[in-house]
Chain A
Amino acid sequence: MSAAGVLTEPMTMSEYGSEAKMESGAGVVAAFVEQRDGSIRATAHEVVGAAAELARAMGGKVHALAAGGPGLGAECGQLGGRGAEVIRVAEGAELAQYQAERYAHIVAGMVAGGGYQAVLFPASALGADLAPRVAALLDVPLASDATGLEVVDGGLVATRPVYGGKAFARVAFDASPAVVSLRPHVFPPGTRPAAGRVEVFTPAGGAPAGGRAVDFRAASGGSVDVAEAEIVVSGGRGLRGPENWAVIEDVRDALGPTAALGASRAVVDAGWRPHGEQVGQTGKTIAPKLYFALAISGAIQHLAGMRTARTIVAVNKDADAPIFNVADYGIVGDVFEVAPVLAAEIRRLKSQSG
């Protein structure tokens, strides 16, 4: 720390105080493992998978890095199946819940000693909070929310959306390690198994004072969050009022537990739906496998949040609605007529295929 109280030197291994013995090597890629309540999140399978592809291209291996409560190490064994050679797990009773400052110091410490060429995080809510802090501690830049990774002349190049998805930037790193967070659902879960050796350690105590979580209120309904869902069913102003949301919920329910509700800003600003459901430039940016835009016009700021969805379906009574320019499949029609039939048809299909 300099006199002015600004962190000027990157964090070093000794500051972190770890006893870790890590073999460094060219092309070794670190992957941060996101867990919640001791369970490995889907993002971890994607991040480890992407790291495995990179490591292959660079002639190295994957080290997965995790922090959490007692028992996390045992959970982490599964990541061998996703391509992790080594899984380093910081375990401690006080680490069960995410704490930004503490986790950042632990992860930065693991990276500082690792000699990694690249470090990957998920661009989930947790990853978006953590990755910039780790990058700052290491004094290296961060490319956030990447949708593509490649190795060019031995160096990492990340592709990331900018201007709300109206352009994509390919960026290179003039610092090492290259730190990148990955947009959830874009990178496939890893499929090439590696040794998966789990190394559990107790991190040294001491991190700067951080915030203290005092309360958590789960969103009503307790269903999957729009940012994490594989399928999102969003409703727009064409629904005419919150009392009509049963129409949207019916489609969501037909699709099953991996589906979540979303909304346009018009709907959120009118107070019909909570802002946690808003998709778009000033809402959540998502890339689900399947996105339904029901009675949503498709304004540019809405597209900013969902245009990287794999498959987009639109139902709108206006054949000229801009949403049809990005939709893979569209139905021109009244949502109040189409949605119930859509829900019924999905249920029929699902019951047939068991």
Chain B
Amino acid sequence: MNVTVCIRRVPDTETRIRVADDGVSIDASGVKYIVSPYDEFAVEAGLQVTEGLGAGQVTVVTVGDAGAAESLKNSLAMGAHRALLLEGEVTMDGLATARALAAELAEADAPLILLGVKAADDDQQQVGPMLATLLGRPCATAVTRLEVRDGDVRCHREVEGGTEVVDLPLPSVVTITKGTYEPRYATLKGIMAARRKPLERRPAQLPPARLRVLALEPPAPRPPGRIVGEGVEAVPELVRLLREEAGAL
């Protein structure tokens, strides 16, 4: 069975984020980009599914600019078989992104579509269930482990208070969270092989974004904290402050 994994290129989580002069985007100078961490879990999940079945290919898809091809190559180097770059501007409007993906995947051979639970830049946590809804497919979110079975996929979901097991009929859409899948490192051999793997490009059928960023701002600085003291002697004062000053106890 073929697996399609939707990935997004995001700034490295270590990167310092500076607001650009336009006040609505980030200053891209010096930013190192990576495949969004949850999407790497999803690529790993996809590889394990095809390896487990001993059949099928993993296709990685991204909506993005020319630079996003780098992220596709990272996934190819991990072991994905083919890649597709849907060229277009990525915005915070996840529904627009989901529409571009849906337009591409509705008629593709994509019985199982995997996404990350959330992208590490816009943190919207929405493209997966939106894509599923547009395609009229069942969807499980925040899945830590999946098992493809005959005609369905068993998903172990992380929910508040425990783990839920859900069986989804195929074709379906699943968003992956951290848990079981440890993304493999790309080997040198993998990186070399990636160069020969197919990477298609075409324009994304991306509708205009309807979520408008008015301003991007650094977080409000937390009021300066204080070191209450050293060692056990400081504990009574800490507890007093928590009750009387912070009202937290």
Contact = CB atoms under 8 A, between A and B. Distances in A.
Interface of A: 1, 4-7, 100-101, 104, 123-126, 128-129, 131-133, 135-137, 139-145, 157, 160-175, 208-219, 224-225, 227-228, 231, 255, 275-276, 278, 281-283, 285, 289-290, 300-301, 304, 307, 310-313, 319, 324-334, 337-338, 341-342, 345-346, 349-350
Interface stretch (B61-69, B75-83, B133-141): B133-141
Interface of B: 11, 13-14, 16-17, 19, 26, 37-38, 92-96, 98-99, 102-103, 106-107, 120-130, 132-136, 138-142, 144, 154-155, 158-169, 172, 177-179, 209-220, 222-223, 225-232, 234-236, 238-239, 241-243, 246, 248-249
Nearest to B226: A329
A142 B217 contact: no
Given A157-B214, A171-B212, A301-B13, A135 B120 contact: no
15 contacts: A125-B160, A135-B126, A137-B133, A141-B94, A161-B123, A164-B123, A170-B215, A217-B162, A225-B160, A281-B37, A307-B219, A311-B248, A326-B222, A330-B227, A338-B234
A331 B106 contact: no
B217 A168 contact: yes
**Which secondary structure dominates where chain A touches chain B?**
mixed
A207 B215 CA distance: 39
Contacts of A213: 164-166
Nearest to B179: A275
A107 to B, nearest CB: 12
A1 B137 CA distance: 13
A70 B111 CA distance: 37
B161 A225 contact: yes
Given A142-B126, A171-B212, 5 more contacts: A132-B128, A144-B126, A216-B163, A225-B160, A331-B227
B17 A166 contact: yes
A128 B141 contact: yes
A352 B19 CA distance: 49
Given A324-B227, A329-B241, A332-B230, A4 B106 contact: yes
Nearest to A323: B225
Given A300-B14, A330-B228, A170 B213 contact: yes
B235 A338 contact: yes
B239 A349 contact: yes
Contacts of A166: 16-17, 218-219
A333 B230 contact: yes
